[in-house]
Amino acid sequence: MPNSRCPITNYQLPIMISALIWIPIWGAIIIALLPKKITSNQIRLSAGLLALITFIWNLFVLFQFDINNPNVQLQEYLPWNETLGLSYRLGVDGLSILMLLLNSLLTWIAIYSSKKETERPRLFYSLILLVSGGVAGAFSAQNLLLFFLFYELELIPFYLLISIWGGAKRNYAGIKFLIYTAVSGALILASFLGLVWLSGSSSFDYDAISTQTLSATLQIILLGGIILGFGIKIPLVPLHTWLPDAYVEANSPVAILLGGVLAKLGTYGLLRFGLGLFPEAWSTLAPTLATWGAISATYGAVTAIAQKDIKRMVAYSSIGHMGYILLAAAASTPLSMVGAVAQMFSHGLILGILFHLVGIVEVKVGTRELDKLNGLMSPVRGLPVISALLVLGGMASLGIPGMTGFVAEFLAFQGSFPVFPIQTLLCVVATGLTAVYFVILLNRTCFGKLDNNLAYYPKVLWYEKMPAFILAGIIVFLGVQPTWLVRWSEPTTTQMVANVPAIQKSVTPQVALNQLTVKSEK
């Protein structure tokens, strides 16, 4: 496990990364303590302002980031408990910088798209901000125990968000989520403890751990625990059964965070602590992981076709797209790894817009059932703008050129094919099945003729559409200008896979992007 990072030689504690964590956390405390005379909408606006400040600060951090430096940057370090090997150590590299941005963006989107009159608003918005701070801490933690603390911080808030503000089966979905996520954390903690104890390290700092060497058998055992732990969070088949219930029963803002942010914490952890700490064992298990990714992708797509609830259909589509990330990570080529990170970011944007639009349809029409929806594209009595945005979201999800989803899948598949051709072809077939279920969804909801007995649907106000327009603009922009997406992660991911044995590096990300540009022009 060679060390590719720059060690910290003295204690540093600037606030650049810490602000991304503590603005939301302290904001959650402030929101919880607001006077009772403050209205629900005023609380929503206050929480939204805090989330917007965090996002703007995140943009500032993004432009302080040196894209040519593959190592951890903007590091913060403060000794905490040397006996336990725990330190407050933060930093970002090409693997985490985009995930932090995605987290802050979708947090603001979730708060903005919440209802003006929300039951128990102080608790609701405090929990969302607490989740945002915890996720930011996990994405930036450079100490394994610190990562685990932030990783577990979102557990209870998400459980409460599902079980209090969810649908009819919210208690069942919340408890199921709680149990699965608790098992995930236990597996990850056991693997971290085993790694430190067996290696004889006195610190949980990533740099210290990454220099340790273990036997091949021990590496595979510890890596297995990490894969299972993060596989539950992603989730991968058959560890996925909590996901449809949680996504469907959660209200739309919470579903945006579950699919757009929480699942990415699983894939990030798999890359950071699986591939990053155990490159030799990862290479050994790579064929199994690639096959697992192909199975998850196919299962998610086939199951989505059979759904009658559009929210459940989007939930199962998420399982399929997570399989592409596992395939790309298993291949461990420079190109596939860039594609994996691009897919993580793109998928978060796409799920964000889809869950937001599904929420609007449910509120305005009163149902999510495909058999009851029809003609929403009608310019007079339907929801034409929402339908058009839903078409765009579906096209992005199925990988139509000009959308960021196409860029991510193109890079992931081209990088994976030389290593795992059969598994890659199965994932390509899954993208074809994606087209099937989105055509079914769009055909039944957007097109056709409205029932004349139905009243006019309420108009969608401009502020209700704005989150979808923002996400749609980003999706199209990054699809047309893919370099703006992949340049942040390429140096880091290339350095990561350099330690994995038996990798094919015949196609570089830049060559692939040039090919992509030529094909798009044609």
Query: What integer pLDDT is reported at residue 292 of this predicted model?
Result: 94
What CA–CA distance (Å, rounded) separates 59 from 54?
9
Quick one: average pLDDT of 376-381? 74
Q: Is 431 within a domain?
A: yes
CA distance to 65, 188, 315, 387, 503, per residue, from 149 (Å)? 26, 11, 27, 41, 34
With tokens 């798209």, the residue in question is 113
Residue 519 has pLDDT above 70, yes or no: no
Query: What integer pLDDT is reported at residue 507 of this predicted model?
Result: 44
Quick one: average pLDDT of 142-150? 93
Query: What integer pLDDT is reported at residue 362 of this predicted model?
Result: 87
Quick one: average pLDDT of 379-405? 86
What CA–CA distance (Å, rounded) separates 494 from 503?
11
The residue that leads in pLDDT, 47 or 437, is 47
Q: Is 394 within a domain?
A: yes
Quick one: average pLDDT of 427-444? 85
Split at pLDDT 50, 70, 90, the class of 181 is very high
The residue that leads in pLDDT, 176 or 499, is 176
Residue 110 has pLDDT above 50, yes or no: yes
Q: Is 321 within a domain?
A: yes
CA angle 6, 7, 10 (to 5 degrees): 130
Query: What integer pLDDT is reported at residue 451 of this predicted model?
Result: 63
Query: What integer pLDDT is reported at residue 459 of this predicted model?
Result: 83
Could you tell me if 408 and 484 are in contact, meaning their C-beta atoms sit under 8 angstroms apart?
no
| Count of CB atoms situated within 10 Å of the CB of 129 | 27
CA distance to 12, 168, 327, 391, 393, per residue, from 246 (Å)? 40, 12, 25, 25, 21
Split at pLDDT 50, 70, 90, the class of 37 is confident
User: What is the percentage of the chain residues whose pLDDT exceeds 70?
Assistant: 91
Per the structure block, which two tokens stand in for 499? 């330690």
Q: Is 89 within a domain?
A: no
- Domain range for residue 379? 278-498
Q: Is 238 within a domain?
A: no
What CA–CA distance (Å, rounded) separates 332 from 494?
9
What CA–CA distance (Å, rounded) separates 274 from 75?
22
With tokens 């765009």, the residue in question is 392
Per the structure block, which two tokens stand in for 448? 């056709």
pLDDT in tens, 329-351: 999 999 999 999 999 999 999 99
Split at pLDDT 50, 70, 90, the class of 512 is very low
Query: What integer pLDDT is reported at residue 461 of this predicted model?
Result: 86
What CA–CA distance (Å, rounded) separates 149 from 186?
12
Query: What integer pLDDT is reported at residue 23 of this predicted model?
Result: 94
What CA–CA distance (Å, rounded) separates 257 from 103?
8
SS3 of residue 86 by DSSP: strand
Residue 455 has pLDDT above 70, yes or no: no
Split at pLDDT 50, 70, 90, the class of 514 is low
pLDDT in tens, 44-96: 999 999 999 999 999 999 988 999 888 899 899 888 887 788 889 999 999 99
Residue 302 has pLDDT above 50, yes or no: yes
The residue that leads in pLDDT, 460 or 356, is 356
DSSP 259: I
Q: Is 145 within a domain?
A: no
What is the value of pTM for the model shown?
0.90
How many domains, the chain? 1
Could you tell me if 397 and 438 are in contact, meaning their C-beta atoms sit under 8 angstroms apart?
yes
Split at pLDDT 50, 70, 90, the class of 522 is very low
Query: What integer pLDDT is reported at residue 183 of this predicted model?
Result: 94
Q: Is 204 within a domain?
A: no
Query: What integer pLDDT is reported at residue 454 of this predicted model?
Result: 57
Residue 445 has pLDDT above 90, yes or no: no
Residue 116 has pLDDT above 70, yes or no: yes
Query: What integer pLDDT is reported at residue 450 of this predicted model?
Result: 67
Query: What integer pLDDT is reported at residue 36 of this predicted model?
Result: 84
Query: What integer pLDDT is reported at residue 452 of this predicted model?
Result: 56
What CA–CA distance (Å, rounded) separates 40 from 350?
29
Mean pLDDT of the chain: 87
Query: What integer pLDDT is reported at residue 453 of this predicted model?
Result: 60
Q: Is 146 within a domain?
A: no
pLDDT in tens, 188-210: 999 999 998 888 877 888 888 87
